[in-house]
Amino acid sequence: MTENPTPPLSLLFVVPSLHGGGAEFVARTWMGWLVEQGHTVSVVTTAKVADEAHLPAGVAAYTVRTAKGHLAKARAVQDLFEVTGADLAVGLQAHANLVLITAAMLARGAGPRVIISERNLVSLGLPGSSRAHRAKVWMARRLYSRADHVIAISHPVGGELVAGFGVRGDRMTVVANPATAKIGGRERVPRETGIENGVQLVLPCRLVEQKRPELAIATAAELTRRGIRAEVVSFGGGPLLDSMVAAASASGVTFVNHGWVEDWFAHFDENAVVLLPSVREGFGNVLVEAAAVGVPSVAVSGALGVADAIVPGITGELALTEHPADLADAVIRASKLEVTGIDAWLDRFSVESSGRDLSRVFGLVLDRADAA
């Protein structure tokens, strides 16, 4: 057990739910680690009841999902400040962050110190978004700076928080995701570098518009046009599945959908290259997971957050644009990579390293409060 840099604390996490995406996984992992360090940890979910199957051992669970409206949820969270006796409250994702900050404003300084964590590049998701989403962003631009500290999932997200949300640079910290938590001691995938035996394009994401999964089909078609055998294997499922099947059929591309698979990285062929063609990513846990088992990845440079999750020329490649020709070029370059000598880089994304950095942020916030 790593020495704890802060004394035992009462910590309250505020999240929409405990299962369903990367942020939920990170919250569960952080909470479990903090319990192991001797802290008292509670969690309140704002959208769904905490599923006991995903509740870390030793964590007390509450929910405010039945409270109607933003203000009612905030008041319910405010009540939990006293119930839990929290020293610090940590929000993850925009909706939970806004509920937590509002609860702290209602408490008028009587509640815990507030830390929020932003997991997305918000501005890139605004074009074509709903009125409700735009209202949420409007609130975030006005309230995020009221938090005692803000954690960014990556450096591009941190830059956006400072430049676009009024967060002070000295109150923003990038804390790396515990992205290797699922990998454990899993061995490297036996690989054949190069394209001589074709390429298996692995698509590890939900089939939704933000992820642009149809680009995987277009990239496979471009590789096939160049005389390189290519197929697409999907782990995620989602509303665009039917259109993916139709696009693959029209292009003559082999497409295999496995749906959601937790240990997707255990199902690579020897010629696999991971492709994440998203329009934006706050980070990209899957890119680190792939590297941890020795498989290279490709993402689009304009997705921004992926730059923290890929080391170009070492663990994968960044395609210059989302054009299938650029993606195909990047896949070919990535297929030749050995993905070795990255242990020190991977350690940045371990549970221990991420947990230590998070705990250090806790200490900074409390020291600042004591000095005020």
Taken as a whole, the chain contains a residue count of: 372
The predicted pLDDT at position 332 comes to 98
Per-residue pLDDT at 184: 81
Overall domain count for the chain: 2
* C-alpha dist (Å) from residue 51 to 43, 67, 92, 232: 12, 18, 17, 33
The pTM for the full model equals 0.92
Alpha-carbon dihedral of residues 99, 103, 104, 106, nearest 10 degrees?
Answer: 140
- Judge if 81 and 174 occupy the same domain: yes
Q: Are residues 256 and 364 in the same domain?
A: no
pLDDT of the chain, 372 residues: tens digit per residue: 444 457 899 999 999 999 877 889 999 999 999 999 999 999 999 988 877 889 999 999 999 999 999 999 999 999 999 999 999 999 999 999 999 999 999 999 899 999 999 999 888 888 888 898 899 999 999 999 999 999 999 999 999 999 999 999 999 999 999 999 989 878 899 999 999 999 999 999 999 999 999 999 999 999 999 999 999 999 988 999 999 999 999 999 999 999 988 889 989 999 999 999 999 999 999 999 999 999 999 999 999 999 999 999 999 999 999 999 999 999 999 999 999 999 999 999 999 999 999 999 999 999 998 887
Do 161 and 273 have their domain in common?
no
| Domain enclosing residue 296, as ranges | 199-346
At 97-108, the pLDDT tens digits run 999 999 999 999
Instruction: Indicate whether 83 belongs to any domain.
Output: yes
Does 362 share its domain with 326?
no
Cβ contact 117:153 at 8 Å: yes
Q: Identify whether residues 205 and 161 lie together within a single domain.
A: no
pLDDT, one tens digit per residue, over 287-329 is 999 999 999 999 999 999 999 999 999 999 999 999 999 999 9
pLDDT at 5: 58
Same domain, 159 and 28: yes
State whether 217 and 336 are in the same domain: yes
In a domain, 133, yes or no: yes
